């Protein structure tokens, strides 16, 4: 192979890598959409009520799995892994409950309508049960585990 062909191949490889890096950057920027992040923070407690997940570690990770199913945010995976590692090292006996909540959260997130898109502020008068029915989160599917 000639030197010019080798140089061309190397430069072409860099250009393709550069395009790949640009795509990764675009995905990362989309991940940090300020509105999306603000909305997730504003409605976090509402999501707990709607899904039925408690605010203990298992409930938080169940909700994080729900969020992962709904939004595909990489940060949700990072927090899930962090929670699992912390539990594994500090209270390994809690892992079964944790996994139950994570599985339930992910499955519930897959079947439910998108919570991030809801305009909670315009429908405060709607009952919790009405919201759950409308969003496809039925009481029998809500994860309830003793603490």
Nearest C-alpha neighbor of 45 from the set 37, 55, 36 = 55
- Taking alpha carbons only, the member of 67, 106, 56, 64 closest to residue 82 is 64
* Angle subtended at Cα 47 by Cα 46 and Cα 50, rounded to the nearest 5 degrees: 85
Q: Are 106 and 66 in contact (CB under 8 A)?
A: yes
Structure token pair of residue 122: 């315009």
CA angle 43, 73, 32 (to 5 degrees): 80
Q: Indicate the DSSP class of residue 53.
A: -
Q: Bigger pLDDT: 37 or 81? A: 81
Cα–Cα–Cα angle for 84, 137, 100, nearest 5°? 25
Output the six-digit token pair for 95. 């892992």
pLDDT in tens, 13-56: 656 555 556 666 566 655 667 888 889 999 999 999 999 999 99
Mean pLDDT value across residues 51-75: 95
Structure tokens at 121: 């502020």
């Amino acid at each position: 192979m000639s030197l010019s062909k080798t140089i061309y191949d190397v430069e072409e490889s860099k250009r393709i890598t550069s395009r790949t890096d640009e795509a990764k950057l675009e995905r990362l920027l989309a991940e940090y959409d300020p509105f999306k992040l603000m909305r997730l923070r504003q409605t976090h407690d509402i999501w707990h009520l709607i899904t039925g997940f408690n605010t203990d570690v298992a409930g938080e990770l169940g909700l994080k799995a729900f969020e992962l199913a709904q939004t595909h945010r990489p940060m949700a995976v990072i927090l899930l892994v962090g929670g699992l590692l912390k539990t594994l090292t500090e209270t390994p006996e809690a892992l079964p409950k944790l996994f139950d909540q994570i599985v339930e959260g992910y499955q519930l997130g897959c079947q439910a309508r998108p919570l991030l898109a809801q305009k909670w502020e315009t429908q405060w008068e709607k009952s919790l049960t009405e919201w759950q029915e409308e969003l496809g989160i039925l009481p029998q599917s809500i994860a309830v585990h003793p603490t």
